[in-house]
């Protein structure tokens, strides 16, 4: 795909440009230099052509300092991955030695470099951009990333360097995960543990609406996107209905995800009655939305337990939740950092289960036997015959059973088929749908 890297010394406006390109407030911004240290990924589109943007942290050439060394490595990696480099300099401060160092590194990369003179909010500053010719990287584009002025011409040139047509959205095929759960279960702590504590430095302009942040994350070579809704929480005022916002937030996050990790506070689970009603509501919401589900029982450190407690509790929970009990359960302690990465691995497994395609022959091999051993009950003396089944392609596993009298298949029989399918195939954590159709 078309990968764009934004590079430049600290404080020139790389994160602002990044946000402009992906049209959302994603990178964490701060006026302190060097706050955006990690590479951030996002996806943008210009005139129907998609691209991936990498925002790199600050970079000081030739520094002996270990921290700077790590940043340099990241920039070099970004340069390696990118098809086009957006080199940002700052009109308000003018050309610096560091800019020249950068220019040297970038010229050596032999990649197309687009020189961007940012913060050209006034005509005077835009004229000042001329001094950057000296870098030997061609015409500077005078832009103001904050308002977006001047970015159109720059983007036209950028897409002209694309080798890949880029007509497919690169986000397709990357698992998107939402972290759901009632207040205080540990959602925020979990996100901090996996995304790093930097995410708490979210500076929000008062009164502006803000979407959930999509964090691109790589673990063991697998990519996924975690929705962080912490920012939306801030919209609620003291006199607002917190519960209402919390449900709204969950619904929005759900809508945009493939798999939901639903966090439950272990101390609120009663071995006799199972999950509390509010937790069950979230599970049922995710099931109705046909999303993958992982149940993460958190604060496990607070529960008195022996070697069998987890197994017994899981069994009790699942019995109580039936028939909504197809999801994997994991016991975690975010505080003690126990099994939090296993929770993510489970999420990836559920994603695989949800997006798999079972071949028609394999499906019929299993299901025709299942049907033969317990055929659908006859209706008013008429035999109901299921001839074959097939998986249709939808975002989650959906199967069509072709039969002579589809309208007389009972729900209990559908349940039987679903249970048998779950036994035979890897469908843990994913809702499935069965349809009956006349052949
Ligand atoms: P959120 O409202 O779901 O985002 O919950 P928070 O992440 O803010 O956590 C609520 C409280 O639970 C905080 O005081 C956390 O420190 C605490 N907490 C989170 N995870 C654990 C855990 O695994 N064990 C214990 N004992 N406390 C936790």
**CA-to-CA distance for 296 and 331, rounded, in angstroms?**
6
**CA-to-CA distance for 212 and 255, rounded, in angstroms?**
12
> Do residues 107 and 38 lie in contact, with contact meaning Cβ atoms separated by under 8 Å?
no
Domain ranges of the chain: 3-160, 176-355, 360-438
Same-fold call for 3-160 versus 176-355: yes
Residues 338-350 as b/e (b if ≥16 CB within 10 A, e otherwise) read: bbbeebbebbbbb
pLDDT digits (tens, 9 = 90+) for 288-302: 889 999 999 999 999
Q: Is 13 annotated as a binding residue?
A: yes
The CATH classification of domain 176-355, taken from the options 3.40.50.300, 3.40.50.800, 3.50.50.60, 3.10.129.10 = 3.40.50.300
Average pLDDT, integer, range 315-337:
94
All residues at 6 or more sequence positions from 263 whose CB lies less than 8 Å from its CB, including other chains: 179, 180, 181, 185, 186, 187, 190, 296, 298
**CA-to-CA distance for 348 and 357, rounded, in angstroms?**
16
> What are the angstrom distances between the C-alpha of 127 and each of 114, 143, 348?
18, 11, 51
Phi then psi for 49, rounded to 5 degrees?
-115, 125
Averaged confidence pLDDT in the chain: 83
pLDDT digits (tens, 9 = 90+) for 328-384: 999 999 999 999 999 999 999 999 999 999 999 999 999 999 999 999 999 888 899
Other CB atoms within 10 Å distance of the CB of residue 197: 9
**CA-to-CA distance for 307 and 371, rounded, in angstroms?**
40
183 lines ligand 1 (CB under 6 A): yes
Phi then psi for 296, rounded to 5 degrees?
-110, 110
**CA-to-CA distance for 128 and 376, rounded, in angstroms?**
80
> Do residues 289 and 255 lie in contact, with contact meaning Cβ atoms separated by under 8 Å?
yes
Pocket test for ligand 1, best of 185, 186, 247, 263 (most atoms within 8 A of CB): 186
- The confidence score (pLDDT) of residue 213 equals 65
Indicate whether 50 pLDDT > 70.
yes
Enter the CATH code of domain 3-160.
Answer: 3.40.50.300
Q: Which of 33, 85, 31 is nearest to 55 (CA)?
A: 85
CATH class of 360-438: alpha beta
CA of 194 to the centre of ligand 1 (A): 14
> Do residues 334 and 190 lie in contact, with contact meaning Cβ atoms separated by under 8 Å?
yes
Indicate whether 70 pLDDT > 60.
no
Q: Is 9 annotated as a binding residue?
A: yes
> Do residues 142 and 120 lie in contact, with contact meaning Cβ atoms separated by under 8 Å?
yes
Q: Measuring from atom 6 of ligand 1, which residue has the nearest CA?
A: 186
Q: Is 308 annotated as a binding residue?
A: no
3-state secondary structure 98-166: HHHHHHHHHHHCCCCEEEEEECCCCHHHHHHHHHHHHHCCCCCEECECCCCECHHHHHHHHHHCCCCCC
Q: Residue holding tokens 């360097």?
A: 161
257 lines ligand 1 (CB under 6 A): no
Residue 236 vs residue 44, higher pLDDT: 44
In sequence order, which ranges of 266-308 are alpha helices (DSSP H)? Answer: 277-288
Q: Measuring from atom 24 of ligand 1, which residue has the nearest CA?
A: 299
Q: Is 387 annotated as a binding residue?
A: no
Average pLDDT, integer, range 392-419:
92
Q: Residue holding tokens 């308002």?
A: 147
**CA-to-CA distance for 374 and 379, rounded, in angstroms?**
15
Q: Is the reported ipTM for this assembly greater than 0.85? A: yes
> What are the angstrom distances between the C-alpha of 212 and each of 173, 228, 233, 241, 342?
20, 6, 10, 19, 24
């Amino acid at each position: 795909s078309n990968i764009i890297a934004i590079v430049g010394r600290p404080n020139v406006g790389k994160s602002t440009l990044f946000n402009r390109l992906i049209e959302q407030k994603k990178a964490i911004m701060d006026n302190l230099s060097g706050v955006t240290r990690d590479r951030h990924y996002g996806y943008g589109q210009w005139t129907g052509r998609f691209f991936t943007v990498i925002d790199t942290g600050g970079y000081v050439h030739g520094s002996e300092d270990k921290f700077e060394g790590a940043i340099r490595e990241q920039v070099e990696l970004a340069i390696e991955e990118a098809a086009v480099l957006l080199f940002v300099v700052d009109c308000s401060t003018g050309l610096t030695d560091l800019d020249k160092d950068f220019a040297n590194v970038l010229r050596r990369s032999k990649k197309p470099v687009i020189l961007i003179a940012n913060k050209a909010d006034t005509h005077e500053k835009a004229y000042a951009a001329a001094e950057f010719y000296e870098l030997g990287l061609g015409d500077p584009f005078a832009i103001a990333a904050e308002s977006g002025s001047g970015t159109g011409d720059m983007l036209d040139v950028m897409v002209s360097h694309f080798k890949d047509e880029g007509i497919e959205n690169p986000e397709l095929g990357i698992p998107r995960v939402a972290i759901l759960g009632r207040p205080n279960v540990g959602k925020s702590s979990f996100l901090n543990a996996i995304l790093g504590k930097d995410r708490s430095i979210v500076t929000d302009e008062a009164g502006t609406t803000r979407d959930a942040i999509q964090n691109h994350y790589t673990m063991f070579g697998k990519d996924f996107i975690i929705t962080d809704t912490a920012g939306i929480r801030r919209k609620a005022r003291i006199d607002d209905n917190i519960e209402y916002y919390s449900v709204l937030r969950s619904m929005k996050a759900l809508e945009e995800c493939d798999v939901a990790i639903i966090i439950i506070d272990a101390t609120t689970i009663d071995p006799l009655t199972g999950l509390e009603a509010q937790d069950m509501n979230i599970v049922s919401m995710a099931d109705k939305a046909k999303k993958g589900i992982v149940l993460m029982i958190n604060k496990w450190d607070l529960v008195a337990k022996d070697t069998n407690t987890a197994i017994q509790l899981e069994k009790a929970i699942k019995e109580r939740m039936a028939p909504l009990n197809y999801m994997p359960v994991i016991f975690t302690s975010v505080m003690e950092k126990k099994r939090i990465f296993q929770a993510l691995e489970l999420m990836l497994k559920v994603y695989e289960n949800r997006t798999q395609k079972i071949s028609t022959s394999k499906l019929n091999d299993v299901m025709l036997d299942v049907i033969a051993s317990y055929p659908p009950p006859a209706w008013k003396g008429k035999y109901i015959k299921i001839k074959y089944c097939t998986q249709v392609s939808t975002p989650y596993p959906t199967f069509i059973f072709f039969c002579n009298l589809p309208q007389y298949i009972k729900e209990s029989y559908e349940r039987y088929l679903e249970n048998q399918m779950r036994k035979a195939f890897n469908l843990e954590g994913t809702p499935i749908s069965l349809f009956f159709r006349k052949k």
